[in-house]
Amino acid sequence: TEDSNTFAERRKKLVGDITVVAGFVSYCGPFNAEYRMRMRKECFGAMCKRQGIPASEDVNIVEVLVDQGTIGEWNLQGLPADELSVQNAILVTRSSRYALMVDPQGQALNWIKKKEEGRMQGAKQCLTTMSSPRLKDQLEYCLQEGKPILIEGVTDDVNPLIDPILEKQILRKGKKLFVNLSDQLVEFNPDFTLYLTTKLANPHFSPELSAKCTVIDFTVTQEGLEQQLLGRVLSMEQRSLEESLNLLMEEVTSNTKALQALDDQLLERLSKSQGNLLDDTELIEVLGNTKAKAKEVEKKLKDAQEKKLEINEKREQYRPVATRGSVLYFCMVEMSLVCWMYNSSLAQFLEQFDLAIHRSEKAQPTHKRVERIVDALTYQVYRYVNRGLFERHKTTFLMMVATKVLLTAGELTSADVSLFLTAGAGEMLFVPARQMMKNGANACKISRTPPRGVGFAEKIRTTTVLLLPQDTQWIDREKRGVSRDGRKTRFPTKRRSQTTL
């Protein structure tokens, strides 16, 4: 049958797929989504091809390593639903080394706190910093009790005290395990877990530290932030709708895990069964009960999915607010590339986001209310950031906001922005004609990105030909001033190149 053929094909490629997944878990943590995809295909996938190991063309890391029930549980604990965040959670939970999370926005910190809430049980011993004077005592408590410990504010280097733990230098004495902590043997409980987080956006960890930990980049993505902002605006504007969705997600997660448990139970009974299956009345009875429960759960999941579609349709009305908020946040963050003094946090932005919603004009129907919020949010964030900028950087920020808003709305394309950035020339009083010819040839490439560049190459080519040395008479007629050898051209220019938006 088709299912058996598919299973045989997957089994054939299993070794290659697991090789790619193992490489991903071991090496891809510090990189963003683009580099992770390239490493998966161009590095690990290509290696399997060179070695003649059968592997899938595009291995889905998430499907191989985690089930939908677990992902739903993570989402309920505060993990963003985008693929990159799910990959990060997989790296935290599946890696054999302890996780060191690059977390400038605090998303990983919040998720870990909710995820381990039951095991921490509000114990202050489980939360600490690298510079805490009580760090040794807290580590001893968590190591012995098998509790998780979350160490915040890691810098480029770590306290040597935790090196034996990171390296897992575990000793066995009889039936007990011990670890050397500051020249003192401390009992080690296998349930112990260590989490490290840093708020540095671009830390420079030493190779030794990177080898001891699994470094994971939890920097927020535009897609992930958009989902968070959508939930945030709905909790303020349509609280009942958002609460209904959360309850529905809990129900779906519970039912998905129940269905998976039934499948596992049935497979376990089948694997333990001996002799003829038809003679095993107990197994047949279990199979019937499992099938009935599975149908019931599947029906609940189907009903929940229909409700989810209805709720999401209403939620999408507020999508423009979340999209605009995500764009504005990344404009704020990218201003730190202009000057390091402009560093800002997600908490600052969320404060302005909430303030804009409260201050925006009330209106009906919903689409008008959304328009009011979008306008108020744009103005609020622009004003908040603008008042902290140097005068010379205010136009830059204005340009960034305007360009990104238009790009997101589809009114501009990346080709348009590229044309804007590359077609102009700076202040240059004397231009060698041959250099102009080279620049003109480069400018011709712009027209290869339709539709707005159509015909532009012909104009540039014609202009370049007219500016060649043998055509200096035309330049003289235009009173632009050419030297007698035809090598340099004087152009009328403004003292300063300006752009008006």
The pLDDT of residue 474 is 33
CA 260 to CA 365: how far, in whole Å?
43
Domain-embedded: residue 172: yes
pLDDT confidence bin for 486, thresholds 50/70/90: very low
Domain boundary among 220, 249, 274: 220
Find where tokens 């609460």 sit: 243
Domain shared by 33 and 71, yes or no? no
Percent of the chain with pLDDT over 70: 82
Could you tell me if 405 and 378 are in contact, meaning their C-beta atoms sit under 8 angstroms apart? yes
Domain-embedded: residue 355: yes
Domain boundary among 282, 306, 330: 306
Domain shared by 156 and 175, yes or no? yes
Structure tokens at 130: 């690298």
Domain shared by 200 and 114, yes or no? yes
Domain shared by 215 and 238, yes or no? no
pLDDT confidence bin for 122, thresholds 50/70/90: low
Q: What does the pLDDT average to over 440-465?
A: 47
| CB-based burial label for 277 (10 Å; 0-12, 13-18, 19+) | exposed
Domain shared by 166 and 237, yes or no? no
Compute the mean pLDDT over every residue in the chain, rounded to the nearest whole number. 80
Domain-embedded: residue 499: no
Handedness of CA 26, 30, 32, 34 (dihedral sign): negative
Structural domain harbouring 117: 67-76+97-220
CATH number of the domain encompassing residue 213: 3.40.50.300
Domain shared by 404 and 277, yes or no? no
- Predicted structure pTM score: 0.74
Between β-strands 99-102 and 193-198, what pairing exists: parallel, antiparallel or unpaired? parallel
Percent of the chain with pLDDT over 90: 20
Domain shared by 71 and 214, yes or no? yes
Domain shared by 206 and 120, yes or no? yes
Domain-embedded: residue 501: no
Could you tell me if 116 and 150 are in contact, meaning their C-beta atoms sit under 8 angstroms apart? yes
Domain boundary among 65, 84, 114: 65
Domain shared by 211 and 101, yes or no? yes
Q: What does the pLDDT average to over 79-96?
A: 90
Domain shared by 159 and 177, yes or no? yes
Q: Mean pLDDT lowest for which of 231-235, 313-317, 483-487?
A: 483-487
Q: How many CB atoms lie within 10 A of CB 308?
A: 17
Please report, as a single letter, which amino acid is at residue 141.
Y
Domain-embedded: residue 245: yes
Number of domains into which the chain is organized: 5
